[in-house]
Structure 1
Amino acid sequence: MGRISLFDDPYAQLHADKGWPDFGTWPCRWITLPNPGAPPFVVAYRCRFELNEPATLRFHVTADERYDLFLDGVRIGRGSERGDVQHWFFETYEETLSAGPHILVARVWTLGPRAPYAQMSLHHGFLLSPQEEAFYDLIGTGRAVWEAKRLGGYTFIDPLAAWGTGDNLLLEGTAFSWGFERGEGEGWQPVETLEPGVDARRYVNDHAPMHLLLPAALPPMMERCWERGRVRHVAAVPSLQTSSLPVRQADHLIEEAIAWQQLWSAQQPLIVPPNTRRRVLVDLEDYVCAYPEVVVSGGRGATLRLHWQESLFNEPDAKTKGDRNAIEGKYFVTLWHLKEGVGDTFLPDGGRSRRFDTLWWQAGRYLEIAVETKDEPLLLESLRLHETRYPLEMESQFSCSDARLETVTPLALRALQMCAHETYMDCPYYEQLMYVGDTRLEALVTYVLTRDDRLPRKALQLFDASRLLNGLTQSRYPSRVQQIIPPFSLWWVAMIYDYALWRGDPSFIRSLLPGARGVLEYFLAHRGADGLMRGPLGWNFLDWVPAWRHGIPPDGQWGASAPLNWQLVMALKMMEALERWLDEPELAARYKRLAEELAHTTDEHFWNESRGLYADDLAHTSFSEHAQCLALLSGLVPQERYERLGETLFTSSSTSSALPDLHRTTISFTHYLFEAYRILGRPDALLERLALWFDLKALGLCTTIEMPEPTRSDCHGWGAHPLYHYFATLLGIRPARFGFDRVRIAPQPGPLNSLAGVLVHPKGSIEADFTFTDGKLQGRVALPEGVKGTLIWGGREQPLFAGTQEVRL
């Protein structure tokens, strides 16, 4: 059967008879290799056992930091799902085995300072605990006979440019323990037993820090063989230092390229002759996150390097990328220091059918295979990529009369998929970290694409777990390196509001509100005598505006910033709504009062009548779209200001701006601009600002980017937010109240003459199909059972009910 999902402590019944000192403890214990040394290192654990008759075994597995699990030499799982020490996840497996001998083997690695930033750790160890008591002493760690040995051959190398992803791997075949997954080889020794496993929700005793265990929150990551890819360049090279060598068609070895393509596409073996150096460039034809796997024979002393890149660069010092489809005259380099790229290196030992793999996946569109042989030929038997990501697919559908919008869909979807793994990520190539600001947008897109909300729920809970004593969340989590971006804590409050709106679940939301209240109290404590909130300590990042130092709005670091004050007003209003929904009228009234007071003060100090805009700073020397967006989204802009902004924001929103010093939103913050456009009823402006996304395909991109060119990252999930607006703004389908059992459909087609879509809903799907002619709407709407709503168009309303109905307004 493989992996199965659990939702509670698997040993809950065992705890009933335990006294409080042992309440929540598991029947099995963590184990370790005695004296493994300082990380980084890799350890194998094995347990040989025999069944007298066929049996089905259910067992729970975890490790610090991560593991691969093999049963009778076949990998059956990976873990542990990422969390933190107080939320340490375990996976559950169920396997039906025949009578006779069997072997369980785990490869466990602890990289310490060489680990990805997102990989947290307490101490090295492995835990396997069967569900049934009959198997405790057969396969349970700390009870059955387990042995361990340190696996040789692993060297870890700083990736530099991809600083957040963990080290590159160099695997030396002559020192590697071949066959470890089958329990083979010498050097196995008895393990050392550590503390018992303990349940995070039941353990009450007062010990030193321990891994507090929770069932895996997510399904297994998707893993499938990547079948696409085109060998675009094969060349002889003077050395494997290829970063300064441009790709030139004149150097291309056509006949050899055919053989390499057959290896790639058909796994037809290829021989690299002795004393040969080759550079092979494979275009994967899409952005891919994958585990590489190579099987080789012979080639003792050879070097086989697999490096990844999102795009080739126009210059050897990696300044610009240009057309991502182009390779001629370009360089396979990486930003900053590591000019050879990001990836892994394998050193064959000359043995037969040696399978080299990696501990973690890599990401990108281009794969550079660099190979150098010595006196022996190298037989490449197979070369595969195993694509991995969260199993997120687009269940909703959208179409309209402007084909340009649909060209964005596959790029935005792929970006979100590549940034969705055991957590959301900002980007798969450089950091692999779940930032709050990025995650809010990724979660919103998730809500309109799929009914599966497990990843957003996990994100909300982990950000709650990241909170510091002062109340703020960390900017990214899980992360072994702490970083504080105070405005991101307010986006976490917005994330809670979003989940309540699109999914409901009052008990879940109630569990998060104490943390949200703590966030708001922290910001409220930073109000000065004039009532304005001053920028708190930390990186007060808002958007990658070129004129803003480090993305901080003017006076955002220590002074009074209009965008940051309006963001706080917006968060206070969201909190008021949540408290009222959860029947906390006194708290709701307080947040309402605080929001109104701060809105009045912010309006008084930052409104510039001559400009008809809110200034960014108290001196009125800077103006931005950001301040206007957040003011409008707060819902507390005075009516006369609202009407004025409906003029000034748009008269200065084109490239021929009458106000050239109005700072523009970039990719991520344009989501909030689009929300403001919706409030003002200007979908035409939204479509105009989508021009950046419309141009991505012409640049050869497969995913949405981090920032306007020149961009660092070619794959950033926050750039997928137009998909949200296709459904929630243009088609106009949004929850009318928390829990989404009422829907408000207010399409904003602008110049579009048709809009249609199927939007996932917790109770089914909402279907809408509209045409617009001479200011009139006609079409069809279908709602799932238990859902009612209202269609709004041209100042008129039509009630909607479960089932299908024709509409005309």
Structure 2
Amino acid sequence: MSVWRASWIGPAYHPTTDIGVNMFRKSFHLEQMRDRVAIHVSADQRYKLYVNGVMVDFGPQRGDLLHWFYRTVDIAKFLRLGENRIVAVVWNFGRWAPMAQHSARTGFIVQAEDAQDKALDTPGTWEVATLPGWDFDMMHGQLGPFYIDVGPGEKVDGAALPPGWTSGAMEGWTKPNHVAGGEARGTPSGGTPWNLIPSSLPPMLYTPRAQVPRIRRGYANDRGSSPEGPLTEAIQLDEGGNLLLDYGELLCAYPRIRLLGEAGAEVRLTYSESMWTQDGGKGDRSAVEGRKIMGYQDCIRLGRGPIEFEPLWWRTYRYLMIETERPVQVQAVGAIETGYPYRVEAAFESPDPVVAPMFHVSVRTAKRCAGETYFDCPYYEQLQYVGDTRIQVLLHYFLSRDRALPRNSIETMGWSTMENGLTQSRYPSRQPQVIPTFSLYWLLMLHDQLMYDGPEAAPSFVTPEFTRRMLDAYRELQSKPLSEQYWQFGDWIDSWPWGIPPGGANSRMCRALLLFA
């Protein structure tokens, strides 16, 4: 969309307190049902969109401020004759935001696709309120010196959380502040932090997992009382009790848990890829006996009556530990799987019983490392590094005809190109990081795209002059002063300090890459 008539709105703003969860709502009357009622919607940092209490969308797709995505959502089937209400839950992780999450300040924008529905545009009669009882904290239980940059844990106070909050049934609503006019990328005025572009990807999955987890026993500090086996009924945890659930494989999912207990009781959820040995190793991912759990966490304080918790951002885990200091009933535990809607259209067969299952493991790994971008790893970073992404894109070419995510990865990495012609090593990323060899990998990704999809698939900004400038910049790295400016990472070889091959930019590996590119 080239012209925006709607404006960005937000809560009262102060840069030191721009963190938390805000609600936006719009009530309106519908006199006639329609086949299509579409709205363009975006937010900083993230949103979940509800229509008459039903979640219909979440986003936006990750980009940067010069390329801020909006989604177009048809809400017609969720509307009814008479009174309707749209509610958006918009959150800002503030200083704890994932490294891949760019941000200017908390904001929200809606514009109706059809001018006859412009009453839905922001600001109009939209209202805003701060959601009480929902906070963030960096809770990474016992993980020690690991690098984790996927955002904070979430802390929910059931006593403060208003009932029916997703339908907008709460107090404290006020008129929102005007933040900035909506502007499409390329608008010459430069009056907004967000240069809006349409989403380039389909909606991410939001699919309830059918298989129930298994209760596991015998881990270190096991204070459970239920026998091992599938979780098929409510579990009562006694004072100081815990419950370890095993999903059998790594998930990227929104856990959903329903709890009941006395007001003020705290329940802590810990998520982990595997159980850890006492000396900090992983080993067999299915082993539990004598092992402990370490991982990031969420915390739920119970109010009066049952509470159902689902975090705003998804978690990566195979094991979920539920711990409480007071008696609590775990009434239900579910998982809503998410990620890129990866279509696998290829097949692999082998008579070797060892080799054949590796295809399924590989496909599952590819799926877990694909969302709004490709991930180097879904648990620790959720960052799109070129060195990993080239391999992931090649695999995607072999598995599927779908090109949306591969194309998006090439374009977003191109956005990171610096004045000297090099790309950053990972993108989107708030913190710039440059690994010169990764610029060459990105050129190889362009070549892969050319070979598989033809020259018409290349991004419009990729020209012979563009690629030549990047190669010239890399050649300059062979001068010592410039080569010392950047991380000359090659690979995690034990004998290479911090992954840097002997000779740095002048190493045989780097020279071979330049020749290949």
Under TM normalisation by the shorter chain, which class is it? over 0.9
The aligned residue for residue 253 of structure 2 is 290
The aligned residue for residue 511 of structure 2 is 565
* 1:178 positional shift: 3.0
The aligned residue for residue 232 of structure 1 is 215
Contact 2:446 2:458 in 1 (8 A): no
Is residue 2:122 matched to residue 1:141?
Answer: yes
* 1:70 positional shift: 0.5
The aligned residue for residue 524 of structure 1 is 475
Contact 1:434 1:477 in 2 (8 A): yes
Give the letter aligned to residue 171 of structure 2: E
Query: How far does the alpha carbon of each residue in 1:683-716 deviate from its partner, in whole angstroms, 9 at most, with x for none?
Result: xxxxxxxxxxxxxxxxxxxxxxxxxxxxxxxxxx
CA distance, structure 1, for counterparts of residue 215 and residue 331 of structure 2: 20
Give the letter aligned to residue 350 of structure 1: R
What SS does the corresponding residue of 2:372 show, helix, strand or coil? coil
The partner residue of 2:240 within 277, 300, 305 is 277
* 1:298 positional shift: 4.1
* 1:247 positional shift: 5.6
The aligned residue for residue 29 of structure 2 is 50
Is residue 2:306 matched to residue 1:345?
Answer: no
Compare the two structures and name the one with the higher helix fraction: 1
CA distance, structure 2, for counterparts of residue 361 and residue 254 of structure 1: 27
The aligned residue for residue 143 of structure 2 is none
Query: How far does the alpha carbon of each residue in 1:68-107 deviate from its partner, in whole angstroms, 9 at most, with x for none?
Result: 0010011111001111111111111112222100000001
Higher relative CO (CA 8 A, sep ≥ 6), structure 1 or 2?
A: 2
The aligned residue for residue 271 of structure 2 is 308
The aligned residue for residue 220 of structure 2 is 246
* 1:209 positional shift: 4.8
* 1:509 positional shift: 4.8
Query: How far does the alpha carbon of each residue in 1:115-146 deviate from its partner, in whole angstroms, 9 at most, with x for none?
Result: 11101012210001101111112x1112x201
Is residue 2:314 matched to residue 1:361?
Answer: yes
* 1:52 positional shift: 1.6
Contact 1:164 1:430 in 2 (8 A): yes
Query: How far does the alpha carbon of each residue in 1:328-359 deviate from its partner, in whole angstroms, 9 at most, with x for none?
Result: 111212xxxxxxx21211111123x4222211
The partner residue of 2:13 within 35, 41, 45 is 35
What SS does the corresponding residue of 2:410 show, helix, strand or coil? helix
Structure 1 residues 192, 215: closer, same or farther in 2, change over 3 A?
Answer: same
Contact 2:56 2:75 in 1 (8 A): no
CA distance, structure 1, for counterparts of residue 386 and residue 466 of structure 2: 14
Is residue 2:173 matched to residue 1:188?
Answer: yes
The aligned residue for residue 768 of structure 1 is none
* 1:426 positional shift: 0.2
What SS does the corresponding residue of 1:496 show, helix, strand or coil? helix
The aligned residue for residue 282 of structure 2 is 321
Larger Rg: 1
Contact 1:231 1:280 in 2 (8 A): no
The aligned residue for residue 127 of structure 1 is 109
Give the letter aligned to residue 33 of structure 2: P
What SS does the corresponding residue of 2:355 show, helix, strand or coil? helix
* 1:516 positional shift: 2.6
The aligned residue for residue 99 of structure 1 is 81
CA distance, structure 2, for counterparts of residue 322 and residue 272 of structure 1: 29
Give the letter aligned to residue 193 of structure 2: M
The partner residue of 2:194 within 196, 208, 211 is 211
The partner residue of 2:54 within 65, 74, 86 is 74
Give the letter aligned to residue 106 of structure 1: A
CA distance, structure 1, for counterparts of residue 192 and residue 502 of structure 2: 42
Query: How far does the alpha carbon of each residue in 1:445-495 deviate from its partner, in whole angstroms, 9 at most, with x for none?
Result: 000000011111111111110111221111111011111111111100000
Structure 1 residues 230, 298: closer, same or farther in 2, change over 3 A?
Answer: closer
* 1:270 positional shift: 3.9
Is residue 2:489 matched to residue 1:541?
Answer: yes
The aligned residue for residue 332 of structure 1 is 293
The partner residue of 1:390 within 340, 349, 365 is 340
Give the letter aligned to residue 490 of structure 2: L
Query: How far does the alpha carbon of each residue in 1:354-396 deviate from its partner, in whole angstroms, 9 at most, with x for none?
Result: 22221101112111111232xxx54433221101111113211
Query: How far does the alpha carbon of each residue in 1:249-278 deviate from its partner, in whole angstroms, 9 at most, with x for none?
Result: xx66345x56xx4xx44xx444445xx121
What SS does the corresponding residue of 1:35 show, helix, strand or coil? coil
Alignment of 1:625-774 (within 5 A): none
Give the letter aligned to residue 33 of structure 1: P
CA distance, structure 1, for counterparts of residue 410 and residue 139 of structure 2: 30
Alignment of 1:579-658 (within 5 A): none
What SS does the corresponding residue of 1:189 show, helix, strand or coil? coil
* 1:234 positional shift: 5.3
Gaps spanning 5+ residues in structure 1: where?
Answer: 1-8, 10-23, 236-244, 334-340, 572-809
What SS does the corresponding residue of 1:540 show, helix, strand or coil? coil
Query: How far does the alpha carbon of each residue in 1:208-233 deviate from its partner, in whole angstroms, 9 at most, with x for none?
Result: 45211111111111121123344333
Structure 1 residues 355, 230: closer, same or farther in 2, change over 3 A?
Answer: closer
Give the letter aligned to residue 35 of structure 1: Y
The partner residue of 1:454 within 391, 404, 426 is 404
What SS does the corresponding residue of 1:104 show, helix, strand or coil? strand
The partner residue of 1:157 within 137, 140, 150 is 137
RMSD over equivalenced CA pairs, Å: 2.2
The aligned residue for residue 702 of structure 1 is none
The aligned residue for residue 361 of structure 2 is 411
Deviating more after overlay: 541-550 vs 48-57: 48-57
Give the letter aligned to residue 51 of structure 2: L
What SS does the corresponding residue of 1:163 show, helix, strand or coil? coil
* 1:521 positional shift: 1.5
CA distance, structure 2, for counterparts of residue 444 and residue 553 of structure 1: 25
How many residue pairs align between the two structures?
A: 507
Give the letter aligned to residue 503 of structure 1: D
Alignment of 1:12-27 (within 5 A): 24-27=2-5
Contact 1:535 1:561 in 2 (8 A): no
* 1:533 positional shift: 12
What SS does the corresponding residue of 2:291 show, helix, strand or coil? coil
Gaps spanning 5+ residues in structure 2: where?
Answer: 141-145
The aligned residue for residue 66 of structure 2 is 86
CA distance, structure 1, for counterparts of residue 12 and residue 198 of structure 2: 28
What SS does the corresponding residue of 1:423 show, helix, strand or coil? coil
Alignment of 1:452-531 (within 5 A): 452-506=402-456, 508-509=458-459, 511-513=461-463, 514-527=465-478
CA distance, structure 1, for counterparts of residue 108 and residue 388 of structure 2: 33
CA distance, structure 1, for counterparts of residue 212 and residue 455 of structure 2: 44
* 1:112 positional shift: 2.1
Contact 1:533 1:565 in 2 (8 A): no
The aligned residue for residue 115 of structure 1 is 97
Contact 1:229 1:285 in 2 (8 A): no
Contact 2:492 2:499 in 1 (8 A): yes
Structure 1 residues 510, 219: closer, same or farther in 2, change over 3 A?
Answer: closer
CA distance, structure 2, for counterparts of residue 252 and residue 48 of structure 1: 47
What SS does the corresponding residue of 1:136 show, helix, strand or coil? helix
* 1:414 positional shift: 0.9
Give the letter aligned to residue 386 of structure 1: I
CA distance, structure 2, for counterparts of residue 461 and residue 230 of structure 1: 39
TM-score when normalising by structure 2: 0.93
The aligned residue for residue 683 of structure 1 is none
